Amino acid sequence: MAHHNENFKDDSGFVAIFLGVVVLVSMAALPATIGWVQAFSG
């Protein structure tokens, strides 16, 4: 049987929000990143 811990704090909500913000920012910056790569590679 699992024991119930009253002091346990679930941080999964914060992790999900943080990952969502990271994905949103990276998707917004993707065209600029592709442009920089093309500018410096050729």
What's the pLDDT score for residue 37?
Answer: 93
What's the pLDDT score for residue 1?
Answer: 62
> CA–CA separation, 28 vs 22, rounded Å?
10
What's the pLDDT score for residue 38?
Answer: 93
Residues of the chain with pLDDT under 70: 1
pTM summary value? 0.57
Reading the block at residue 38, the tokens are 């093309």
> CA–CA separation, 6 vs 41, rounded Å?
56
What's the pLDDT score for residue 29?
Answer: 94
